Amino acid sequence: MASILTGDYSRAVPVVSSFFTVKDYQLNAKDDYVQFLIAESDVSDKFPQLLVHLGKIGMVATAQKSQHVRWLMPTLRSVRLSIGSGLLLTVHKISRQKAKSNYRRIIPLALFLVTLTVVFFDGILRSDSVFAKMGIEDPVVLAVVYTIALMGILGIHELGHMVTAKRYGIKISWPYFVPTYPGFFYPTLGAMIRLHSNMPSRNAMFDVGISGPIAGLIVTVIVSIYGSSISVLIPIEEAQRLLGDSQLIELNSSLLMMATMQLTGAMVDDMVLVMSPVMFAAWMGFLLTFLNLIPASQLDGGHITRAALGSRGHRVLTFAGIGVLFALQYPVMAVLVLIMALRAPEGMPLDDVTPISQGRKVLFVVALGLAAICAPIPSYLL
CB 185 within 8 A of CB 167: no
CA distance 287 to 378: 13
Beta bridge partners of 66: 86
Per-residue confidence (pLDDT) for residue 27, from 0 to 100:
85
Quick one: pLDDT band at residue 49, thresholds 50, 70, 90?
very high
Radius of gyration of the chain (CA): 25
CA distance 63 to 89: 5
CA distance 234 to 242: 11
Per-residue confidence (pLDDT) for residue 18, from 0 to 100:
93
Q: For residue 141, report the phi and psi dihedrals to the nearest 5 degrees.
A: -60, -45
Question: Residue 89: enclosing H or E segment and its boundaries?
Answer: strand 80-93
Average the pLDDT over 359-382 and give the result: 90
Tally Cβ neighbours within 10 Å of residue 56: 9
* Whole-structure pTM value: 0.89
Per-residue confidence (pLDDT) for residue 183, from 0 to 100:
86
CA distances from 254 to 77, 163, 261, 377, 379 (A): 55, 28, 11, 6, 11
Over the stretch 309-349, which tens digit does the pLDDT of each residue have? 999 999 999 999 999 999 988 999 999 999 988 887 778 89
Please state the length of the chain.
Answer: 382
Contacts of 124 (CB under 8 A, 6+ apart): 139, 140, 143, 182
Over the stretch 139-195, which tens digit does the pLDDT of each residue have? 999 999 999 999 999 999 999 999 999 999 999 999 999 999 998 889 999 999 988
Angle at 108 (CA atoms; ends 105, 112), nearest 5 degrees: 145
Quick one: pLDDT band at residue 104, thresholds 50, 70, 90?
confident
Average the pLDDT over 358-364 and give the result: 97
137 compared with 146, residue with greater pLDDT: 146
Q: Is the dihedral of CA 130, 135, 137, 139 positive or negative?
A: negative
219: DSSP letter: H
Contacts of 98 (CB under 8 A, 6+ apart): none
pLDDT of residue 68 exceeding 70, the answer is no
Give the CATH number of domain 7-93; options: 2.60.40, 3.30.1360, 3.30.460, 1.20.1740. 3.30.1360
CA distance 267 to 257: 11
Over the stretch 189-221, which tens digit does the pLDDT of each residue have? 999 998 888 899 999 999 999 999 999 999 999
CA distance 71 to 78: 8
CB 236 within 8 A of CB 273: no
Pairing of strands 22-28, 59-71: unpaired
CA distance 315 to 260: 34
CA distance 293 to 291: 6
pLDDT of residue 262 exceeding 70, the answer is yes
CA distance 186 to 173: 24
pLDDT of residue 375 exceeding 90, the answer is yes
Q: Mark out the alpha helices in 77-201 (DSSP H runs).
A: 102-127, 130-133, 139-167
Quick one: pLDDT band at residue 14, thresholds 50, 70, 90?
very high
Quick one: pLDDT band at residue 76, thresholds 50, 70, 90?
very low
CB 63 within 8 A of CB 352: yes
Per-residue confidence (pLDDT) for residue 381, from 0 to 100:
67
Average the pLDDT over 58-62 and give the result: 93
CA distance 50 to 6: 21
Q: Where are the domains of the chain?
A: 7-93, 102-381
Tally Cβ neighbours within 10 Å of residue 292: 23
Which of 67-71, 110-114, 131-135 shows the highest mean pLDDT? 110-114
Mean pLDDT of all residues in the chain? 89
Q: For residue 375, report the phi and psi dihedrals to the nearest 5 degrees.
A: -75, 130
- Choose among 228, 215, 203: nearest CA to 370: 215
Per-residue confidence (pLDDT) for residue 98, from 0 to 100:
65
248 compared with 80, residue with greater pLDDT: 248
pLDDT of residue 222 exceeding 60, the answer is yes
Per-residue confidence (pLDDT) for residue 135, from 0 to 100:
84
Contacts of 75 (CB under 8 A, 6+ apart): none
- Local structure of 104: helix, strand or coil: helix
